[in-house]
């Protein structure tokens, strides 16, 4: 290996090391498409579960004190359990697939996947996400299921924002869209599942396709 560098090579090398050591560029377009598809399927399934149960959680007036009858609560319990199950399965499947495609891309690019940037990203991403998770559990506990979809959107957006600095610039745009949709969803609770499916499903797929066309096809 030639150890002496021309000035131009030096500058280029310096730039590449600075970028490689601070940025995680292995987020694959396929990851976005995968996560988005999981989002759509899970969202539709959750909507089906909600419609299938005899109570209508989309109507938040049900949460008034007058409705706290025993039968209402037992129905709620079942729905709550089913929804929680769907959420956990979706989360695991989406995360595993997203991981898989990114590891594959990292291997193709010859980058070590679990580097210090990735570790920093994982921590920064988890803090808002776990916070949002606990808030959702609290909503569940108080039977305010209606607020869960908007909350997940907002906190997921904040999580993305936290890692935007360390990765592709487009992640920041995605993050802002997710947060805006979350806020919108808080005000239009009746449509919150539709907005959720749009945010987690459609947006991710669009993002994935854009990323694939921009970075992966080289």
Residues that bind another protein (CB under 8 A): 1, 3-5, 7-8, 10-11, 13-15, 17-18, 20-22, 112, 115-116
Work out how close the CB of 5 gets to another protein at its nearest, in angstroms, rounded to a whole number: 5
Work out how close the CB of 120 gets to another protein at its nearest, in angstroms, rounded to a whole number: 10
Work out how close the CB of 24 gets to another protein at its nearest, in angstroms, rounded to a whole number: 12
Q: Which is nearer to another protein, 21 or 68 (CB)?
A: 21
Separation of alpha carbons 202 and 43, rounded Å: 11
Separation of alpha carbons 80 and 73, rounded Å: 10
The answer to whether the Cα torsion of 40, 178, 182, 75 is positive or negative is positive
CB of 14 closer than 8 Å to CB of 180 = no
Work out how close the CB of 192 gets to another protein at its nearest, in angstroms, rounded to a whole number: 41
Residue that is written with structure tokens 């606990």 in the block: 134
* 62: DSSP letter: G
Q: Which is nearer to another protein, 12 or 56 (CB)?
A: 12
Q: Which is nearer to another protein, 116 or 190 (CB)?
A: 116
Separation of alpha carbons 88 and 105, rounded Å: 26
Work out how close the CB of 208 gets to another protein at its nearest, in angstroms, rounded to a whole number: 27
Q: Which is nearer to another protein, 96 or 112 (CB)?
A: 112
Q: Which is nearer to another protein, 66 or 110 (CB)?
A: 110
Q: Which is nearer to another protein, 10 or 213 (CB)?
A: 10
Work out how close the CB of 34 gets to another protein at its nearest, in angstroms, rounded to a whole number: 26
Separation of alpha carbons 209 and 218, rounded Å: 14
Separation of alpha carbons 12 and 18, rounded Å: 10
Spatial CA neighbour of 62 closest among 155, 144, 160 = 144
Beta-carbon contacts of residue 152 (< 8 Å; ≥ 6 apart): 132, 136, 182, 196, 200
């Amino acid at each position: 290996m030639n150890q002496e560098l021309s000035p131009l090579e030096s500058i280029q090398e310096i730039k590449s090391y600075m970028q490689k050591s601070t940025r995680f560029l292995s987020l694959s377009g396929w990851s976005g498409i995968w996560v988005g598809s999981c989002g759509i399927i899970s969202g539709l399934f959750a909507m089906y579960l909600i419609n299938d149960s005899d109570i209508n959680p989309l109507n938040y007036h049900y949460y008034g004190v007058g409705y706290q009858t025993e039968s209402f609560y037992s129905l709620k319990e079942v729905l709550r359990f089913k929804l929680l199950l769907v959420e956990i399965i979706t989360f695991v499947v989406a995360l595993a697939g997203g991981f898989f495609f990114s590891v594959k891309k990292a291997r193709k690019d010859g980058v070590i996947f679990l580097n210090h940037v990735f570790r920093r990203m994982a921590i920064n991403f988890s803090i808002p996400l776990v916070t949002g998770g606990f808030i959702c559990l609290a909503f569940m506990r108080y039977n305010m299921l209606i607020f869960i979809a908007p909350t997940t959107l907002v906190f997921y957006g904040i999580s993305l924002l936290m890692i935007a600095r360390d990765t592709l610039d487009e992640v920041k745009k995605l993050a802002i869209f997710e947060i805006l949709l979350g806020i919108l969803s808080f005000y239009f609770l009746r449509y919150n599942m539709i907005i959720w499916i749009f945010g987690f499903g459609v947006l991710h797929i669009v993002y994935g396709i854009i990323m694939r066309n921009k970075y992966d096809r080289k």
